[in-house]
Amino acid sequence: MRFIKFFFIVLGFSFLQSCSNPSLYQSKHYVFGTIVDISIYGEDEKKAEDATKAVLQEFTRLHNSLHAWEKSDLTNLNESISKNKSYKNASLELIEIIKNARELEIASNHLFNPAIGELIDYWGFHQEEFNPMHPNQSKIKNLVERGPSLDQLHITGTTIKSSNPHVKIDLGGYAKGYALDRASKILHKHHIKSALINIGGNIIAIGQHGNKPWRVGIQDPRGAQAIAKVDLLDGWAIGTSGDYQRYFMNDGKRYCHLINPLTGYPVQGVYSATVLIEPSQNAGTLSDVLSKPLFISKKEDRKDMAKKLQIYHYLIIEDKHISMTKTMADKIQFLNPHTKKNNQIEITL
Amino acid sequence: MKLRSNFFLGDSLIILVSLIFIIFAFKTFWHFETGSVVQVNFQGKIYGNFSLFQDKKISLVGKEGSSMIEIKDGRARIKTAPCKNQYCVQQGWINFTGQILICIPNEVSIEILGKTKAYDSLNY
């Protein structure tokens, strides 16, 4: 009988135990003007803490080097460009980033264009907190006609010169993803075998969460919760461009921070574009960059754009309409049964 | 014989209490949808976990000013925020497990917790 008592006490305790999760180290930080969320599984706390610290140091370094409007190496470069001067002693890292971003700009038919800082600034998105503004049509036309492109940069050694003084580089659609790749490398160096890094919604997975894969929710663009979930396997990354992250309303119209470089206006009608990127050296970067051309491109051009950029897993949410590739549909699960009822679901190849 | 029945009384009491506890625990924690606890994050740290079944207002003074979190009728919201865009305030009430409201300027976020999380992190 003693044994039975003991059994029930143990049972009671094990019930309480099951609620806690001792080997998951989680921390939240505010860098890049957004939330950075790092989860490390199965390591002792000290090791996880040290690795997290190293990652955060790297993020602060990148923030100070790549910020688009607070003084940084990038704003110095932009200043030189605007004055028609050459920028000397650029870091190898900055040059690599610019070269890589340029390749992606060209591959995306200039829909991903980090040189349109002037336009983004005009729309008021170069501030942490921005005001609704009334766009002036001729001003926007003028800014678009200036035709800035990373292709106009000439790099010789460590010197950068632009043939167009209106190139103003903004790595808003690149830096967070790049930071994910850097973080992934740092965690590997610290021998962390399982971690999940989330920078403002862009996520990369290392290893898995114990005996299950890391599981990630995809935000409902018109709600405060996830619309779907997906297992993020080792080395995979996910990124979303949405009209709900940074936007303002004016006369009942939504103006989001994603601006079509060809028209000069914010994209309207698309709620979100999510891409899932398979493991590679720069999966994080690609998860950040590749959602942009899909978000911006015209509905009828989307498929060709995805094919050109080799995006095999994507999900687009519009008003009462969800479209995704077959491979994406196989990987995600909608959380609310009404989602399928209330939306027309289109599965493409 | 007398001893045995006493023993049985004590044991059955423990069994009964355990069963009541288990049923109570299931009822309290076994929610697939609505959560029962809101976790408040402030300046990168967990500020506290609060039951949703109470009327409570929490005022947090951050870098930008004061944010007010309100808990009422099993739901939580950010009632006032010092930022300009007011996204977190406009999103209104949350009560489902995994729902989250974030105010980046003032470094405040609130999240509804449940027994099991539907996912480890949110892509947005």
**A37-66 confidence digits (pLDDT tens):** 999 999 999 999 999 999 999 999 999 999
| Residue A224: closest CA among B38, B14, B3 | B38
Question: Does A150 reside within a domain?
Answer: yes
Q: How many helices (H) and strands (E) does chain A have?
A: 12, 16
Question: Does A344 reside within a domain?
Answer: no
Express as a percent the part of chain B with pLDDT over 70. Answer: 85
| Residue B25: closest CA among B34, B36, B14, B38 | B36
| Mean pLDDT computed over every residue of chain A | 91
Report the distance separating Cα A273 and Cα A112, nearest Å.
Answer: 14
Question: Does A198 reside within a domain?
Answer: no
Question: Does A141 reside within a domain?
Answer: yes
Q: What is the per-residue pLDDT for A3? A: 58
Q: Is A27 exposed, middle or buried (0-12, 13-18, 19+ CB in 10 A)?
A: middle
pLDDT digit string, tens, across residues A54-110: 999 999 999 999 999 999 999 999 999 999 999 999 999 999 999 999 999 999 999
Tally of structural domains, chain A: 1
The domain of A100 spans 69-162
Q: What is the per-residue pLDDT for B51? A: 84
State the complex-level ipTM: 0.79
Question: Does A212 reside within a domain?
Answer: no
| Phi, psi (deg, nearest 5) at residue B112 | -85, 125
Q: Return the higher-pLDDT residue of B54 and A287.
A: A287
Report the distance separating Cα B43 and Cα B60, nearest Å.
Answer: 10
Q: What is the per-residue pLDDT for A19? A: 44
List the single range of A177-181, A271-275, B22-26, B56-60 with lowest mean pLDDT. Answer: B22-26
Residue A2 confidence class, pLDDT cut points 50, 70, 90: low
Express as a percent the part of chain B with pLDDT over 90. Answer: 23
pLDDT digit string, tens, across residues A235-267: 999 999 999 988 888 888 899 999 999 999 999
Query: Do the beta carbons of residue A271 and residue A242 sit within 8 Å?
Result: yes
Question: Does A121 reside within a domain?
Answer: yes
| Phi, psi (deg, nearest 5) at residue A140 | -65, -40
Q: What is the per-residue pLDDT for A17? A: 47
Interface of B with A (CB under 8 A): 7, 10-11, 14-15, 18, 21-22, 25, 29, 41, 43-45, 83-85, 91-92, 94, 96, 98-102, 104-105, 107, 109, 115, 118-124
Query: Do the beta carbons of residue A342 and residue A320 sit within 8 Å?
Result: yes
Q: Return the higher-pLDDT residue of A19 and B48.
A: B48
Report the distance separating Cα A274 and Cα A328, nearest Å.
Answer: 10
In single-letter form, the type of residue at position A161 comes to K
Question: Does A291 reside within a domain?
Answer: no
Report domain extents, chain B.
1-30, 37-113
Question: Does A86 reside within a domain?
Answer: yes
In single-letter form, the type of residue at position A183 comes to A
Residue A15 confidence class, pLDDT cut points 50, 70, 90: low
Q: What is the per-residue pLDDT for A1? A: 56
Q: What is the per-residue pLDDT for A18? A: 46
Whether residues B121 and A238 touch (CB distance < 8 A) is answered with no
CATH of domain B37-113: 2.60.320.10
In CATH, what number is assigned to the domain containing residue A135?
1.10.3980.10
Whether residues A129 and B121 touch (CB distance < 8 A) is answered with no
